[in-house]
Amino acid sequence: MSDLRSSIERAAPRRKKWPWVAGVVAVLLIAASGFTLTRGGGSGDQAAGDGEPVRGGTLQFALIDYQRSPDPQWGTNYAESLIGNNITDKLTWQDPDTGRITPWLARSWEYNKDLTEFTFHLRTDVTFSDGTPFDSAVVKANFDQYVHGDQKLGILPNGATLLPGYVETRTPDRYTAVIRFDKPLASFLQASSFTANAQPGFLSLSTLKLSAEQRTDPTKVIGTGPFVYQSWKPQVSTVLVRRKGYNWSPPALKHKGEAYLDKIVFNTIPEASVRTGSLESGAIDATLDVGTTDEKSLAGQGFQIIHRAVSGTSIFFNFNSRLFPTNDIAVRKAIQLGWNREALRKTVLTDSYSVATSVLGPSVFGYADYSGSVLRYDPEKAEQLLEKAGWTKGPDGIRVKDGKKLVVKLLGINNLVVNKPAYESIQQDLKKIGVDLQLTVVPIPDYTANVAKAKTDWNITAANRSRNDPAVLNLQYSPLLGNGSYLGKDSTGVDVDEVTKTLGRLELTLDPTERRQYAKAAQDLLLDKYALVNPVYNPSQVIAQAKYVHGIVFDAQSRNHFVNAWKSNGR
């Protein structure tokens, strides 16, 4: 059959169309690729010096996350807290450099000796963007809903963990709000300035009446902030426009009047290479979530890198004090001493990050430096400690005691790009002193699911907690609260009461000298005496911006405020 067919076919005249078509396509392809190669680059707007701020213009900003709801009191990611900060204001502003609490919507405040009652005297000229006034009734309605939630409206108790023991807000007069707790809560003063996840930013009374579902209409979410919602498109972008008549930014920022920018577009771009490519091609003006590997090349192309360490605890290894083998203080101390900080700094971190020198970040009030004492690289001493405690090296180099291997199981989160390489660097160093550190570094939901079982399953949980107040140690480690190292009766060699009391004192005073002492005592206990934690590095938020962008502020929680931001070209 095929013979018959091919003979018929061969008899037909050949038409030579295909070579022509193929030729034309080939020429087009070559031309296109040549065009591609010769163009390119072409970024970098006209650079301008700082000088006087220019009003107007739209800032195209990129980040990895998006707001799942425009409600700023709800949220667990960076986009949510960052955008919330530009829609709402807080009672107080924490100075990012000194950690001091300074006025904002509250002009002044005082508290009782027990630190159970905080009286705030409010500004009288503040209004919401729908024109309604900001007063003590608004403060009360906000805090009540923030702490208790509202089941009928589907509003969760978002503020319950930030304000434990909240009793009520009293309103003796229109511009005085008294917030009461059932036990001393020194950290409340800092909480009143809190700008991170699920923040106490004030919403109008009309917004508070809306259900969670109704709050997904951004134009109905009303705050007092320097910007108001124009649109919210989940997964894609949030657009904010300047609030007309705004005149109450934190005095510490020294900004008068309305925001400089007309508009900010928060573009959600999940892919790192698309964020940097868009910055390079000028499609965006600035981007958050810059990867460690991109910092250098972007800086080389003339983009500015600005960053701030996340205030709170460092990225920590919390030791489980009940579980073999981390119930042995020699093992915990050996791990603190057994890894090379310098190698971590050189191979994994960039200049935007730093090696941890305490469990508190350096920007937190009360921070003390332990890099000269317990938090240093001293493998000989680490090995001595292990030998003395009866851990002898087995044939494979891993130490053994009573027939059991020195295997330490770590549970970590992979949400920060630096985490896994940092842990691997430590893993290699520890192997040399005979400690087998086994890493399980997983996404947040898997981590959360495992943390629930950490008491019995994991020797180390690795994470951090963002809260710019030394009381974060009490929240994280007190056996009555977070109990990060699972202290209990069977934690050998640890006086649990001592830990509870020492950490608890951080909530009992706001006197700077006393507080500094208590913070030092708490760090001594956690790092040195009981060695309950091995701090690793201080995470950072990193922004790359074009040269014509100025004035993006990192606050005390390393969230960004745009009231002061401007573009040289004003476009």
Q: Give the interface segment with another protein, choosing from 151-159, 327-335, 521-529, 550-558 (CB under 8 A).
A: 151-159
By C-beta, is 215 or 243 nearer to another protein?
215
In the list 26, 28, 29, 40, the residue contacting another protein (rule: CB under 8 A) is 40
How long, in residues, is the chain? 571
In the list 156, 389, 417, 496, the residue contacting another protein (rule: CB under 8 A) is 156
Q: Give the interface segment with another protein, choosing from 62-70, 81-89, 292-300, 393-401 (CB under 8 A).
A: 62-70
In the list 278, 320, 425, 468, the residue contacting another protein (rule: CB under 8 A) is 278
Nearest to 552 by CA among 298, 300, 286, 278: 286
Cis peptide before 479 (omega within 30 of 0): no
Q: How far apart are CA 3 and CA 504, in angstroms?
A: 95
By C-beta, is 4 or 380 nearer to another protein?
4
By C-beta, is 241 or 252 nearer to another protein?
241
Tell the smallest beta-carbon distance from residue 569 to another protein (Å).
18
In the list 306, 343, 481, 510, the residue contacting another protein (rule: CB under 8 A) is 481
Q: Does 325 bind another protein (CB under 8 A)?
A: no
Q: Give the interface segment with another protein, choosing from 219-227, 229-237, 496-504, 518-526 (CB under 8 A).
A: 229-237
Three-state SS at 392? strand
**CB atoms closer than 10 angstroms to residue 114:** 11
Q: Does 197 bind another protein (CB under 8 A)?
A: yes
Tell the smallest beta-carbon distance from residue 96 to another protein (Å).
21
Q: Does 420 bind another protein (CB under 8 A)?
A: no
In 64-165, the DSSP E strands lie at 92-94, 101-103, 106-111, 117-122
Enumerate the H helices of 301-378 as residue ranges: 329-337, 341-347
Cβ atoms 475, 481 nearer than 8 A: yes
At 480, list the tokens. 């009555």
In the list 107, 174, 233, 296, the residue contacting another protein (rule: CB under 8 A) is 233
Q: Does 281 bind another protein (CB under 8 A)?
A: yes
Nearest to 519 by CA among 302, 360, 333, 327: 360
Cβ atoms 167, 259 nearer than 8 A: no
Tell the smallest beta-carbon distance from residue 483 to another protein (Å).
6
Chain mean position to CA 418: 14
Q: Does 361 bind another protein (CB under 8 A)?
A: no
In the list 45, 53, 54, 69, the residue contacting another protein (rule: CB under 8 A) is 69
Restricting to residues 444-473, name those near another protein by CB under 8 A.
444-452, 463-466
Q: Does 44 bind another protein (CB under 8 A)?
A: no
Q: Does 302 bind another protein (CB under 8 A)?
A: no
By C-beta, is 12 or 403 nearer to another protein?
12
Number of residues located near another protein, criterion CB under 8 A = 73
By C-beta, is 160 or 305 nearer to another protein?
160
Cβ atoms 434, 397 nearer than 8 A: yes
At 12, list the tokens. 């037909």
By C-beta, is 167 or 481 nearer to another protein?
481
Q: Give the interface segment with another protein, choosing from 297-305, 341-349, 475-483, 513-521 (CB under 8 A).
A: 475-483
Q: How far apart are CA 571 and CA 561, in angstroms?
A: 19
Q: How far apart are CA 280 and CA 260, in angstroms?
A: 24
b/e map 532-556, b = 16+ CB within 10 Å: bbbbbbbbbbbbbbbebbbbbbbbb
Tell the smallest beta-carbon distance from residue 502 to another protein (Å).
18
In the list 84, 96, 164, 434, the residue contacting another protein (rule: CB under 8 A) is 164
By C-beta, is 421 or 482 nearer to another protein?
482
**CB atoms closer than 10 angstroms to residue 235:** 9
By C-beta, is 86 or 461 nearer to another protein?
461
In the list 238, 357, 459, 483, the residue contacting another protein (rule: CB under 8 A) is 483
In the list 269, 360, 487, 565, the residue contacting another protein (rule: CB under 8 A) is 269
Cβ atoms 187, 473 nearer than 8 A: no
Nearest to 337 by CA among 264, 386, 410: 386
Q: How far apart are CA 165 and CA 289, in angstroms?
A: 35
Give the end-to-end CA distance of the chain in Å, rounded to a whole number: 73
